[in-house]
Structure 1
Amino acid sequence: MNEHMGLHQQSGSSYFLLYTAGIILLLAIMSYWYAAKWNKENTSRLKKDQKAAIKQKTKKMRVAAHLLLSLSVIVAIIHFAKDLGKEYDMNSLNVKAAIEVTDDKYYGAEHSDEPVKYEMKIPTSGTHSPHDLKFGFYKEKPPYEMLVHNLEHGDIIIYYHTDADPKIIEQLNYFVNFREAGAGILAVPNEDIPADKDVVVTAWTKTMGLSDYDDQKIATFIYKYINEGPEKIPASIRRGGGTM
């Protein structure tokens, strides 16, 4: 699998903040526990100077626990807020990688609430549900009938294996943030992906299978084919998909 090629800023360092917050929180909990333990040991059986020493030690531990708890909250806030306001510029995906894309046969675009038997194992056109899906990362595969509707609106669907490398999952979570007019991106697990492919990327009547995951090829595919479906819906109406 190729490295991420600098297409996005999120990396393992972003998770480092979350791990750090967890460790600090654990230390805070341990500090509270020791403070409570020492407080229980401060009984009337102890001498005055011993009681004073335990009281002072308990007070310092509680102060340390409060500081650690506050620090863990701050680090967690930094982790979740660091991407707020980040722009996902579609032009950043115009990396012009060489890609091999299959022009699939057109199977129509009728709407139906009934289950559809598709000619293609991973369909890119055909009769489909009148309802589409929200853009984003999916952990369970929705019906093809709905996914095909998304393709009709110019969305890009990236199919991945359920046991995909965590680095692939991380990158797909980045890609799904991109928008072009009323079209977006979905990352969906799929058991129909051929065993020799890491991912399969689809647009309306377009398929690209990658034997080795390559984020530059996916970026190029997205840039070239997003919002190129036969039925374009303005962003003000679609509002992230799932509205039709």
Structure 2
Amino acid sequence: MSSKKKSVSARDEKLAAARKQQQASERRRSALIAGAAGLAIVIIAAAVTWAILGERDERQAAGDLSGVKTFDYNGGNHVDGKIDYKESPPVGGEHNAVWLNCGTYDEPVPNEHAVHALEHGAVWITYDPELPEADVKKLDDALPDTYTVLSPYEGKMPSKIVLSAWDHQLSVDSADDPRIKGFIKEYRQGEQTPEPGAACTGGVTPETSLVK
């Protein structure tokens, strides 16, 4: 065999070996890509499952809000003087032009100012004045820092504890009821709010009654 033919044969062998190496490399890369894609699918599926289970657990922890009563009041109706509300405590309707400052109160607050706070997206938690102090503390501990009002209520209520948001109300008998946190999460600055984002400070604070 001539040296030229030997050179061509050696080159062909090198090319063939290079092609095999490239093909093997491409197979490994394809396997890695397929493995990564499969892993990504597993991760995404796990994340979706975790989110669904988390939402389910959160709903269960919040309790069933099907007991919430709904009403139909228009916002923006400012009037002077005392108002005779249909609901006790009220959930909407005419109210004083000045809103109640959000916070925790140890004395009953004026309905007319509290309803204006509801219009701004606050949740108003009222309780029987005879409710044990330990239960009042539980209610207070459940409250976010803003857009909530907690106060005893001097009028007749359908239960020991009533949670009110604009056009929505829930009656519960225990400070441990999981629906309390669920109601606050659902309706504080919720979609039902006539004036979302409006102030919850800078209004009126009844004298000697604000705890915090």
- Scaled by the length of structure 1, the TM-score of the pair is 0.53
1:57 match? none
Describe the shift of the 1:159–1:140 C-alpha distance in structure 2 as closer, same or farther (beyond 3 A): same
Is 1:230 matched up with 2:194? yes
Match of 2:91 among 115, 124, 140: 124
The answer to whether the 8 Å contact 1:160/1:189 transfers is: yes
1:192 match? 155
Match of 1:241 among 184, 197, 201: 201
* 1:6-21 superposed matches below 5 A: none
The answer to whether the 8 Å contact 2:118/2:124 transfers is: yes
Question: How many pairs align?
Answer: 143
Distance 2:173 2:140 in 1: 20
Structure 1's unaligned 5+ residue stretches are 1-92
The answer to whether the 8 Å contact 2:163/2:170 transfers is: yes
Distance 2:194 2:148 in 1: 16
> 1:114: Cα distance to partner?
2.5
SS in 2 for 1:163: coil
The answer to whether the 8 Å contact 2:99/2:113 transfers is: yes
2:166 match? 204
Aligned AA (1:209) = S
Distance 2:141 2:174 in 1: 18
2:47 match? none
The answer to whether the 8 Å contact 1:160/1:193 transfers is: no
Taking only the aligned residue pairs, the percentage that are identical comes to 27
1:163 match? 130
Aligned AA (1:219) = K
The answer to whether the 8 Å contact 2:75/2:119 transfers is: no
Distance 2:148 2:156 in 1: 18
1:98 match? 64
Is 1:135 matched up with 2:135? no
* 1:209-220 superposed matches below 5 A: 209-220=171-182
Describe the shift of the 1:241–1:193 C-alpha distance in structure 2 as closer, same or farther (beyond 3 A): farther
Describe the shift of the 1:242–1:215 C-alpha distance in structure 2 as closer, same or farther (beyond 3 A): farther
Residues 92-148 of structure 1 show CA distances to partners (whole Å, capped at 9, x for unaligned) of: x87331121000232654012222222223211111011112221111112110010
Distance 1:118 1:96 in 2: 29
Distance 1:96 1:218 in 2: 7
Larger Rg: 2
Describe the shift of the 1:107–1:120 C-alpha distance in structure 2 as closer, same or farther (beyond 3 A): farther
Match of 1:154 among 121, 127, 133: 121
Aligned AA (1:186) = V
Distance 1:165 1:129 in 2: 31
* 1:43-122 superposed matches below 5 A: 95-99=61-65, 100-106=67-73, 108-122=75-89
The two structures, once aligned, show a CA RMSD in angstroms of: 2.2
The answer to whether the 8 Å contact 1:199/1:211 transfers is: yes
> 1:172: Cα distance to partner?
2.1
Describe the shift of the 1:124–1:104 C-alpha distance in structure 2 as closer, same or farther (beyond 3 A): same
- Scaled by the length of structure 2, the TM-score of the pair is 0.60
The answer to whether the 8 Å contact 1:156/1:226 transfers is: yes
SS in 2 for 1:145: helix
Structure 2's unaligned 5+ residue stretches are 1-57, 205-212
